[in-house]
Amino acid sequence: MTFSIALAGKGGTGKTTVAGMLIKYLVKQENGPILAVDADCNANLNEVLGLEVTDTLGNAREEMKKGIVPGGMTKDVFMSMKLEQAVVEDEGYDLVVMGQPEGSGCYCAANTLLTGFLERLTGNYPYVVMDNEAGMEHISRLTTSNVDILLIVTDTSRRGLQAALRIDKLTKDLNIGVGKSFLIINQAKAEPSEAVLDIINKDGLKLAGVIPEDETVYEFDLAGRPTIELPDENQAIKAAFGIFDKIMN
């Protein structure tokens, strides 16, 4: 049975970095192999993981829509082949990138095939970690409809928190089958104020924990170093691992 964890949040809150921390955590727990899915149209989870991506599922969908299927090959076989080519393997986890959003025209047939193949692919992994753009349309449209845990990442700004609460409401309105939703406050300079806690509690969204602002995380990002390589003793990593211990057990 695959256990799925999705991440969402306003741009700039560090949700992709948190996704990398979660993958690092699951690998250390020897809970793999793990499938990491980058469903953000601004795909950069591979940079956090230090992996090079040469193909995406979006490319396969575009080629099928344009009829670029080799002679003698069915569309099903073509999509299966392209899906396998798009999977980047590493120790303890694999990565697949969804790619850019669709252009004009109908992608219904390609999306239907892609959804089926993704469901089969995810079934081979005990854990799936999906990094989403703000909103949850990618989960409801292109992957399995049920999510065991949704981690909504915010920074300490009011706009970030408001976006997080809107995402939580959107998932409920879409009725996509989220098991549990948690809020993570990232890049925090201090513990959340009583006013912030009141806003969160009033909404009913559970605060899983706080990841502090960390200079080493910033330096890794600025230098283009994979943040999955952050040392275990790093304060942001320790805080994130504490959060994951709490929500996964």
Per-residue pLDDT tens over the stretch 185-214: 999 999 998 888 888 888 889 999 999 999
Q: What CA dihedral angle connects 175, 5, 133 and 45, to 10 degrees?
A: -170
User: What average pLDDT does the structure give for the chain?
Assistant: 84
Q: For the residues 154-162, what does the mean pLDDT come to?
A: 88
**pLDDT value at position 70?**
81
- Give the list of residues 6+ apart from residue 174 with CB closer than 8 angstroms, or none: 136, 140
* Mean pLDDT across 232-239: 97
pLDDT band at 151 (very low <50, low <70, confident <90, very high): very high
pLDDT band at 139 (very low <50, low <70, confident <90, very high): very low
Arithmetic mean of pLDDT, 149-173? 87
pLDDT band per the 50, 70, 90 thresholds, residue 43: confident
Lowest mean pLDDT among 9-23, 30-44, 80-94: 30-44
Largest CA distance in the chain: 65
Burial (Cβ within 10 Å: 0-12, 13-18, ≥19) of residue 15: buried
Q: Name the pTM for this structure.
A: 0.88
In this predicted model, what pLDDT tens digit does every residue of 94-107 receive, in sequence order? 998 877 655 555 54
pLDDT recorded at residue 24: 96
pLDDT value of position 143: 46
Domains and CATH numbers, the chain: 3-248 (3.40.50.300)
The average pLDDT across 14-20 equals 94
Q: How confident is the model at residue 94, as a pLDDT? A: 94
Unique residue bearing structure tokens 């939703």 = 181
